[in-house]
Chain A
């Protein structure tokens, strides 16, 4: 699929923008603070209903405006679909599909699919475990929309369960009374969390070889092997930590039993701390290169290459699912040397459509045949390819 045209009004720095794109590589060139990233942020928002830069919608609406609009025509196998979202800061957003309002904004998810890599993604390697869990869960949601509901359920049960633990601690509830009260929530929690764990472990199994492959190319070193391991707070027991293959073989039912067992083991601790201490929200996806834990040992350049590999591998996985998303790389070439740039050129030219931003023209490799757009002061003008 590819974005045929984009319309913005009162989005970030843009009062109004109408721009047409083409399949293949589209390069947005402009100095810092001119509005390149805003354009790709808008495209990403239309795909995921969230910005890759900020958690809330308010900064997306141009200062002084009431609402922002992002609209696009997306072409998929020669069919055109128009999709539009109105972002109302502080109120519910509204969306339209082929000019017709949809009842739920979520209905437009899936019309456009993107994989975005941006400098912020360094936190996938260097940041807290939550960043990596989120990465995995978002990829799951992109592949199977049902997962969005599952994630919401897990969060909701956790909130309920933690509220119960807190009130049990506050009222000095006896262990047996707490057991009775927690029983139903343990069951609901295990039911939903087990499914999420099962999905995550399966995804990781599929993703791991793709990440390793991409890293070899991006880092230009064949000898370094990337390992991704799911470290579960649920899976292990005192005398046995299951390996990746063992965990992949587990059914959701198996996870459910493991989780219920772990909840029993940690009951006293949970009551003392008034918080759920085992489950998908406490897990880590441990990244390592040649046996060295990535978070502690990798240099800036290596971390950056690994983060990029994670995104490119997600892209590969989605292509394998027959979804071929739009590939968006924000400010990616500036960080790479010439050899690695050449490898990346292969990746972006093979995509149905890709967007690349760069601050200066000479960051874009000469061998990249791309349509250029110059971004200055919130204006985008396209330049014919030389």
Chain B
């Protein structure tokens, strides 16, 4: 245990995701040794983030204004909507530059263990967006795990009666990888989802 405030700092850092007690200690001592200007800049940024960043009122992505950059962009295709769990998934898909439609961020996946039901996600907002005829296709891009699959199934059932095209991201082998390094589950899925070449 360190004296008062130093220990407080270590404890606070230790609450961050992916930071264990040892790392927290190392970061704390880095901060103590660092130039005060750098540390103040970090502190300011933290404060600004909490003050200024909010969530887009349309899609739920992080934004600095009422709507996020993507929702404001008139060049984006409004007929196709990609549903993801978290804002960081938007960033991942944007990096591909393949998708020119718009997004809807749910804010998580259905998980009764964590007490998250459909009402805790931005599903009502999603249904409202689909109510008019602008959107014709919905891509369900939730994580390929149990909770993500369950959420996708739930949404597919909800959207199906509206007569829209609903698709789910494919799962299979990573591109550029070697077959031998794929784990059995991925390889098994890739077999199940194989496609004809001729």
Contacts and interface: CB of A to CB of B under 8 A. Distances in A.
Interface in A259-299: none
Contact of B185 (A149, A163, A164, A188): A149
Interface in A101-159: 104, 145-146, 148-149, 153, 156-157, 159
B153 interface: yes
Q: Which size bracket describes the interface of B in this complex?
A: 10 to 19
Nearest to A185: B150
State the main secondary structure of chain A at its contact with B: helix
B147 interface: yes
Given A163-B113, A187-B153, A157 B146 contact: yes
A70 to B, nearest CB: 23
Interface in B64-100: none
Nearest to B155: A184
Contact of B147 (A104, A146, A160, A183): A160
A188 B150 contact: yes
A160 B157 contact: no
- Counting chain A residues whose Cβ lies within 8 A of the other chain, the interface size class is 20 to 34
A184 B188 CA distance: 23
B113 A160 contact: yes
A161 interface: yes
A167 B113 CA distance: 9
B111 A188 contact: no
A183 B184 contact: no
A181 interface: yes
Interface in B130-154: 146-147, 149-151, 153-154
Contact of A164 (B112, B149, B151, B153): B112
A141 to B, nearest CB: 10
B149 A188 contact: yes
Given A160-B112, A160-B146, A187-B150, 9 more contacts: A104-B183, A145-B184, A149-B184, A153-B146, A183-B157, A184-B150, A184-B151, A185-B112, A188-B149
Interface pairs A-B: 7 shortest CB-CB: A164-B112, A163-B112, A146-B184, A149-B185, A184-B154, A163-B113, A184-B150
Interface of A: 104, 145-146, 148-149, 153, 156-157, 159-161, 163-164, 167, 181, 183-185, 187-188
11 contacts: A104-B183, A146-B185, A146-B188, A148-B184, A153-B146, A157-B146, A181-B117, A183-B157, A184-B110, A187-B150, A188-B153
